[in-house]
Chain A
């Protein structure tokens, strides 16, 4: 059983197109939208289409919404979860390729990479620098190459999303730091090339100048802490915050 999780914040302009595309390309997959306290009609539009919509009681951010999706998938017993954005950037046909790959290769995570092959995707300079730095950090920490560590289009196996759903320390920005953590815990991660569109509506969570700088600082620190943590903790159950 496959579940597509779509974290959504103010995506009323693009969500119908996303849902229609998913229905066409993945007719057998269930879909759930996690409404992160949108102030527009996102939730109303999703419910009108008969899609389950989990309403977060307050705006908690992308990673909390994604983790909520993982909890839903674990509760309902799904086998695979497809992480899919609600802003129209992700292409449903490409998600199908990720699903086929995870089923054939028995990987735990399949990441859709914009950079394994030339896809015409426009990646701003600052983001390209960040991606290159994270690529290097993953290589140094795990001796493994991930060409697109910030890709939000991923498919996860039950084993993987179940663990992530229970993680008290699920990161605020689940990118390179989460990949490093999963690799060091022995999860099998694969990448395949995918095409993505540029954002058609809404605002990116990494827009502006301050947000990307804050993101980079938090990411570096998070990876540093992670490398320290995994040196002392091997196969131990993660303590809850505050204990």
Chain B
């Protein structure tokens, strides 16, 4: 087992632990952290069995196997980023909706408060 393999494996274990600790501490939702944990499990598997990438690269006609690793990593990160972007958009829409409802409710409350004061008089 080479030094680079050991580094891969150690990194995967450290990052997996970080993900779990952050989930336990409520810094990440469980559903989101599962995706990151899945990524680290793949890194760990590839660290232990690096030949998997060489074999799959061979099937795909890719001469330089690490290129496949880079390609898959970039595609996965694009997917995660895309997912975050769509979630962020949905959250923006919800925040706007809540802010607008809040403004309308405040107006209703102030109208009701005025009516209550006038009734007391």
Contacts and interface: CB of A to CB of B under 8 A. Distances in A.
Are the chains A and B members of one assembly? yes
Interface of A: 57-58, 168-169, 172, 217-218, 221-222, 225, 228-229, 232, 238-243
A232 B94 contact: no
Nearest to A228: B24
A12 B20 CA distance: 42
Given A218-B31, A225-B20, A238 B26 contact: yes
Given A58-B94, A58-B97, A221-B34, A241 B23 contact: no
A32 B30 CA distance: 30
B30 A225 contact: yes
A240 B101 contact: no
Nearest to B37: A221
B25 A218 contact: no
A55 B118 CA distance: 30
A225 B26 CA distance: 10
A222 B94 CA distance: 26
Interface residues of B, number: 14
B83 interface: no
B27 interface: yes
Contacts, number: 34
A241 B24 contact: no
B97 A225 contact: no
Given A57-B97, A58-B94, A228-B20, A240 B26 contact: yes
B118 to A, nearest CB: 27
A222 B27 CA distance: 14
B98 A57 contact: yes
A183 B20 CA distance: 23
Contact of A218 (B34, B94, B98): B34
**Residue among B34, B98, B101 with most chain A CB within 10 A:** B34
Contacts of B34: 217-218, 221
A159 to B, nearest CB: 23
Given A57-B101, A58-B97, A225-B20, A218 B26 contact: no
Contacts of B98: 57
